[in-house]
Amino acid sequence: MITSLLIQNIERHVHLDVGEIELVLSLFQPKQLKRKAFLLRQGEVCRSEHFIMKGCVKIYSIDENGFEHILMFGAEGWWVGDLFSFLTGKESRYHIEALEDTQLLQITKPDLDLLYEKVPKMERFFRILLQNAFIAHMERIDQSLSLDAAGRYQHFVRKYPAFGQRIPQKQIAAYLGITPVFLSMLRKKLMEG
């Protein structure tokens, strides 16, 4: 069953009984994205939170000079969305775009609120997700401030080894805040050294 990945993800932090699993699955709706399709565009309101069943996405903004700044990638087993927009109902500052054909399960805010009411342990689950996301964002900020480009690249490769094969180098460069040419030179230097 394709939804088993979602239940496995949830049960890493909370245990659900059969009735709770049925309710969870009834509130999530499938969504398919083709490669290069947008899940969310800057200026839209994020109306759902999304769990990636298969595929890969990027969350990014574009600055006034047209440069892309990638905040994060997401692949199987990851949650993606714009939490600020989702919770406040305000316009998103980000795009979420599929890098591959992607299958998602999505839940709307009203359905998530219903889930919290009917299955209180799901509030605990999403609190744990939020805590983990906060820690990951703090680590990313710290690395951006304290590591040079080589250190950031090496950390990325260690932390996300599968992404190197799935994500184009120019996307990885945008995530690291360097040019694709510089990333190519850096990779060559690290292989030689």
Rounded percentage of the chain residues whose pLDDT exceeds 70: 98
Rg (CA), the chain: 18
Predicted confidence (pLDDT) at residue 56 exceeds the cutoff of 90 = yes
* Under 8 Å between Cβ of 85 and 91: yes
Task: Return the axis-axis angle of helices 121-146 and 109-118, rounded to nearest 10°.
Answer: 120
Output phi, psi for 64, to 5 deg.
Answer: -65, -15
Residue 2: the pLDDT is 59
* Under 8 Å between Cβ of 6 and 51: yes
Query: What is the C-alpha separation between 81 and 10, in angstroms, rounded?
Result: 17
Query: What is the C-alpha separation between 184 and 14, in angstroms, rounded?
Result: 43
Query: What is the C-alpha separation between 82 and 89, in angstroms, rounded?
Result: 10
Query: What's the mean pLDDT in 69-92?
Result: 95
Coarse DSSP helix, strand, coil percentages of the chain, rounded to the nearest 5 percent: 50, 25, 25
Q: pLDDT digits over 168-179, tens only?
A: 999 999 999 999
Predicted confidence band of residue 165 (pLDDT cuts 50, 70, 90): confident
Tokens of 46: 């994020």
Q: Report the predicted TM-score, pTM, of the whole model to 2 decimal places.
A: 0.91
Residue 192: the pLDDT is 82
Residue 191: the pLDDT is 82
Predicted confidence (pLDDT) at residue 1 exceeds the cutoff of 60 = no
Q: pLDDT digits over 87-99, tens only?
A: 999 999 999 999 9
Query: What is the C-alpha separation between 95 and 71, in angstroms, rounded?
Result: 10
Of 100-109, 146-155, 183-192, minimum mean pLDDT range: 183-192
Residue whose token pair is 């069953």:
1
Query: What's the mean pLDDT in 57-83?
Result: 94
Q: Between the CA of residue 111 and those of 31, 45, 119, 129, what are the distances in Å?
A: 16, 16, 12, 18
The pLDDT mean for the chain works out to: 94
Residue 149: the pLDDT is 92
Predicted confidence (pLDDT) at residue 154 exceeds the cutoff of 70 = yes
Strands 68-75 and 56-62: antiparallel
Query: What's the mean pLDDT in 19-35?
Result: 96
Output phi, psi for 72, to 5 deg.
Answer: -160, 160
Predicted confidence band of residue 67 (pLDDT cuts 50, 70, 90): confident
Burial class (CB in 10 A: 0-12, 13-18, 19+), 71: middle
Query: What's the mean pLDDT in 139-161?
Result: 91
